[in-house]
Amino acid sequence: MYNPQDYRHLFPITETYVYLNHAAMTPPSTVVSAAVNEYLSDYAQHGSASDKLWLGRFDQAHAEVASIINAQPTEVAFIRSVSDGLSLITNGLNWHHGDNVVGIDGEFPANVYPWLNLARHGVETRLVPQRDNRVLVEDIAAAIDAHTRVVAIGFVEFNTGFRNDLAAIGRLCNERGIYFVVDPMQGLGAIPLDVKALGIDFLACGSHKWLMGVHGAGIFYARQEALDRAELSTANLSWYSVQDNMNFAYRPDDAHPNARRFDAASPVILEVWALVAAQRLVASIGRQQVASHILDLTARLIAGLEQLGYEVITPHANDDERSGIVCFRPRAGQGSNVELTARLLAQGIVVAARSGIVRVSPHFYNTEGEIDRLLEALELLVDICYLCYNHN
């Protein structure tokens, strides 16, 4: 039976805080710190004599990371951020005046700005509004027309916690020959994701949130069938894009025929090694086990918040729309969301203030006791506010 207590010693943050802000970043575990130190120590002692070792590990990392999303190793490249990955698409496709991209209003800007930047090519970005903090598949379908080239959507909405129906949206895109692009930043690592089953063409994700890595390493997935359409040029073509990259003659026609041509040059080896270490730990636990525990924690939190009278804005009518994120509004008299999160921080509880709400995001090493501690702190703040209101 899974017990988060077995892993808490790996996370030094637990000695200081109740840390419930993994949708912002995951503090490094000792496993990740050890991986980073291994890399730095080895290069400190051996310099370029270690290049073969680490480039070999970097190559192998493609297979390990591809397995997380059920991709082939040649369908994965390592980049630096979501924005970098999406820019490979916006700068690589041959756009035509009158094309359009369908996205979601309220998505994190990293999955909006690259598309808005296409206006210079006469490309329209259509942002579908959310209804009651949900993204409805029928609204996306209504926004699509004969000129839609891309549907770009997040796995989980960052400021509501709503988990999108990627399977239905993927079918919609695949039936119409539209590229399906996913930013899984707020879900991948917490909830299993299968790019093949969901019909995803391109995916871009950073590693410092739910994937428990560090800043500076991102995953770019490109389905081979999508690349075979020969519509996406290599916007970041570099010396590392070609198959024999140690042959320094100029050979752009020798670029990898797969996603490996998008690997960032110079390779982000240290950052990727940290990601691999983090995900080996997760794999040893079991990805479904991790997801089940996270969803159990968020269900406990939602029930507790509603019992205390907080307005939970995260949709939770069914489990398929829930994620590792729970968002709620402060009670009357508690001040702004920024003020409430500051009061919680003063009690050693780390959550986030986003767009007028408080966002809570536990991971696999968090416990039911930590959720209860947050609820107890919120209950106390409700009582204090009530007393202050009546006194005044």
Taking only the tens place, the pLDDT of each residue in 78-135 is: 999 999 999 999 999 999 999 999 999 999 999 999 999 999 999 999 999 999 999 9
What separation, in Å, do the N-terminal and C-terminal C-alpha atoms of the chain show? 51
For the cut 80, the answer to whether the pLDDT of residue 212 exceeds it is yes
Q: Where residue 245 falls among pLDDT bands split at 50, 70, 90?
A: confident
Task: Determine the pLDDT at residue 372.
Answer: 98
Compute the average pLDDT of residues 257-286. Answer: 96
Q: Where residue 383 falls among pLDDT bands split at 50, 70, 90?
A: low
Q: Which two tokens stand for residue 102?
A: 């369908």
For the cut 60, the answer to whether the pLDDT of residue 211 exceeds it is yes
Q: By CB neighbour count within 10 A (0-12 exposed, 13-18 middle, 19+ buried), where does 78 fall?
A: buried
Task: Determine the pLDDT at residue 157.
Answer: 98
Query: What is 212-270 written as a DSSP string?
Result: ---TT-EEEEE-HHHHTT--B--TT--TTSBSSTTS-S--GGGB-SSGGGG--SS--HH
Task: Determine the pLDDT at residue 150.
Answer: 98
For the cut 50, the answer to whether the pLDDT of residue 254 exceeds it is yes
For the cut 60, the answer to whether the pLDDT of residue 165 exceeds it is yes
CATH 3.40.640.10 domain position(s) in the chain: 31-283
For the cut 50, the answer to whether the pLDDT of residue 239 exceeds it is yes
Task: Determine the pLDDT at residue 390.
Answer: 47
Which of 197, 203, 204, 191 is closest to 167 using CA atoms?
197
b/e string for 305-314 if b means 16 or more Cβ within 10 A?
A: beeeebebbb
Task: Determine the pLDDT at residue 384.
Answer: 60
- Answer with the residue of higher pLDDT: 387 or 348: 348
Q: Give pTM, 2 decimals.
A: 0.94
Strands 179-183 and 148-154: parallel
Compute the average pLDDT of residues 350-358. Answer: 97
Distant-in-sequence contacts of 376-384, Cβ < 8 A, 24+ apart: 377/344, 377/347, 377/349, 378/305, 378/308, 378/310, 378/344, 379/308, 381/331, 381/334, 381/340, 381/343, 382/308, 382/309, 382/331, 382/334
Compute the average pLDDT of residues 61-85. Answer: 97
| Record: fold of 4-20+286-391 | Aspartate Aminotransferase, domain 1 (3.90.1150)
Compute the average pLDDT of residues 219-248. Answer: 93
User: What percent of the chain stands above pLDDT 70?
Assistant: 97
Task: Determine the pLDDT at residue 247.
Answer: 87
Q: By CB neighbour count within 10 A (0-12 exposed, 13-18 middle, 19+ buried), where does 172 fall?
A: buried
- For the segment 174-209, what is each residue's pLDDT rounded down to a tens digit? 999 999 999 999 999 999 999 999 999 999 999 999
**3-state secondary structure string, 290-319?**
HHHHHHHHHHHHHHHHHHCCCEECCCCCCH
How many C-beta atoms surround the C-beta of residue 55 within 10 A? Answer: 14
Task: Determine the pLDDT at residue 391.
Answer: 47
Q: How high is the mean pLDDT of the chain?
A: 95
Are the beta carbons of 67 and 250 closer than 8 angstroms? no
Are the beta carbons of 155 and 175 closer than 8 angstroms? no
Consecutive H or E run containing 203: strand 202-206
Compute the average pLDDT of residues 292-299. Answer: 98
Q: What is the CA 260 to chain-centroid distance, rounded?
A: 21
For the cut 70, the answer to whether the pLDDT of residue 155 exceeds it is yes
For the cut 90, the answer to whether the pLDDT of residue 42 exceeds it is yes
Are the beta carbons of 151 and 102 closer than 8 angstroms? yes
Task: Determine the pLDDT at residue 385.
Answer: 55
Instruction: Report phi then psi at 215, rounded to 5.
Output: -60, 145
User: What percent of the chain stands above pLDDT 90?
Assistant: 91
- Answer with the residue of higher pLDDT: 246 or 174: 174
Task: Determine the pLDDT at residue 246.
Answer: 86
Domain spanning 31-283: CATH 3.40.50.1240? no
Consecutive H or E run containing 35: helix 30-46
